[in-house]
Chains A and B, each alone.
Chain A
Amino acid sequence: GAGVSQSPSNKVTEKGKDVELRCDPISGHTALYWYRQSLGQGLEFLIYFQGNSAPDKSGLPSDRFSAERTGGSVSTLTIQRTQQEDSAVYLCASTSQSGWYETQYFGPGTRLLVL
């Protein structure tokens, strides 16, 4: 079946501009995660959505970062006033339930470059 999809696959933007990154989880998956992969920081957790519960935003690095999940499915990660240190690969993952034992399935990522 279809896996997690993300768009765009690549994004180049200028410092100070806003960007939106999209994630479509696996159909029927209720939990959705965003991670960031950067050279300096490795792979780090950003935000977690589970059903209608309030999201866990504890990993967001600054208030320029926000995310929403509409209708319990598609999620959008927004970065306002982008900075060069935001350059990274942004990965989305989903699981069928919220349990810690569930396997997180990852999308191909969005490669963001801030000039």
Chain B
Amino acid sequence: AQSVAQPEDQVNVAEGNPLTVKCTYSVSGNPYLFWYVQYPNRGLQFLLKYITGDNLVKGSYGFEAEFNKSQTSFHLKKPSALVSDSALYFCAVIRSNDYKLSFGAGTTVTVRA
């Protein structure tokens, strides 16, 4: 079975400060990892993914994530958070040769002005 854990239900940061949203995974075989963001009453919006290659992945809106195989983590980061980054963030994993996304429970990010 594959699973994703997002250990923090909520993350609160001040605008301009670094933002980190944590994600750890458990999957047999190679993991393929995704981050999505959801704004209120909207669908999921793709941010970035790790498939292979460089462990540091850069995505949309200034976000990046680092794949760490030894720690089975894929934390999402942004060097300087904006109020508009306030949303619900989901980490997800797919096992190779599969196609079903398994999602974490989500982390609510609030960026205060």
A106 touches B99 (CB 8 A): no
Residues of B within 8 A of A44 (CB): 103
Tell me the complex Cα distance, A33–B102, Å: 13
Q: A96 at the A/B interface (Cβ < 8 Å)?
A: no
If A45-B100, A100-B98, A101-B51 touch, whether A109 touches B32 (CB-CB below 8 Å) is no
Name the contact of B99 in the complex, choosing from A43, A48, A91 (C-beta under 8 A). Answer: A48
Residues of A1-33 whose CB lies within 8 A of B: 4, 6, 31, 33
Interface size grouping (class) on chain B? 20 to 34
Residues of B20-74 whose CB lies within 8 A of A: 32, 34, 36, 41-46, 49, 51
Q: B95 at the A/B interface (Cβ < 8 Å)?
A: yes
Q: A35 at the A/B interface (Cβ < 8 Å)?
A: yes
| 13 interchain pairs, CB-CB under 8 A | A33-B101, A42-B105, A43-B90, A91-B43, A100-B32, A100-B94, A100-B95, A100-B98, A101-B49, A101-B94, A103-B49, A106-B46, A108-B43
In order of increasing CB-CB distance, the 10 nearest A-B pairs are A43-B103, A106-B44, A106-B43, A108-B43, A45-B100, A101-B51, A100-B94, A109-B43, A107-B43, A42-B105
